[in-house]
Amino acid sequence: MWNVLYVMWVRQIKRYWRSKARIIGSIGQPLLFLLAMGFGLGPVFERAGKGNYITFLAPGVMGQAILFMAIFNGVELIWDRQFGFLKETLVAPVPRFQIVLGRVLGGATIATLQGLIVFVLTLFVGFKPQNLLLLPLAVVLMFLIALFYTSLGTAIASLMEDFHGFQLIMNFLVMPTFFLSGALFPLESAPSVLKSISRVNPLTYGVDGLREIFSGVIQIDLANNTLLLTICSLLLLMICSYLFSKIEA
């Protein structure tokens, strides 16, 4: 029965790698942030006594790449729903939890690969990680970020049937999530209102964890970041599974 999970997982990954335009397009925005903001604001950041901006920015851009790829995975669910593939999947004599778990794990794997691709790109623009031996730990954190936002995208897509409505909601969520995660600026210098919002933003803990692993900059303990992301990801996966179980294809 768990073959269904494996099939859905592999199918999601194959979809991604077959679309060369999607791969190239998905690295365009992170690269733009790295080049335009990294080199454009770098001198200002250094004069403010904050150090090298590329070193600060790179983990945030990795988090951004994972966020965008993961959360928009929900589009594929709406696509499958409209073109009949989802109906064929749902009539299979297997629990829907296995189906949604396969989809979510596939989407999270793709988003994690996206984060690793962006990590490689950061090396070419001057990013120097403190210790490459900690890369496996960073991959675990990337996967937790991806798992949370893939579950979120799938959960929202389970409630919708329209591409345009989904994209509007995602745009409303994605940009504030990214900008209020500490990816682009240090949160300790932000107004108290923004600090409060950032504390309930799961991406904040993902970016902070990646920054600690790669750059040694500590705001929140890595163990706490990992624990909070794990709890949030599992909770949202359960919510996603429940909403998916109510779908009528």
Are 233 and 144 within 8 A, CB to CB? yes
Tell me the pLDDT tens digit for each residue of 64-115. 999 988 888 887 788 777 776 777 677 666 777 888 888 888 889 889 988 9
Residue pair 206/63 in contact (Cβ under 8 Å)? The answer is yes
Residue whose pair of structure tokens reads 């778990």 in the numeric block: 101
Domain positions in the chain are 3-245
Higher pLDDT, 210 or 95: 210
> What pLDDT is stored for residue 15 in this prediction?
64
The overall pTM is greater than 0.85? yes
Contact assessment for residue 85 and residue 76, using Cβ atoms and an 8 Å cutoff: no
pLDDT in tens, 144-182: 999 999 999 999 888 887 777 777 887 788 888 988 888
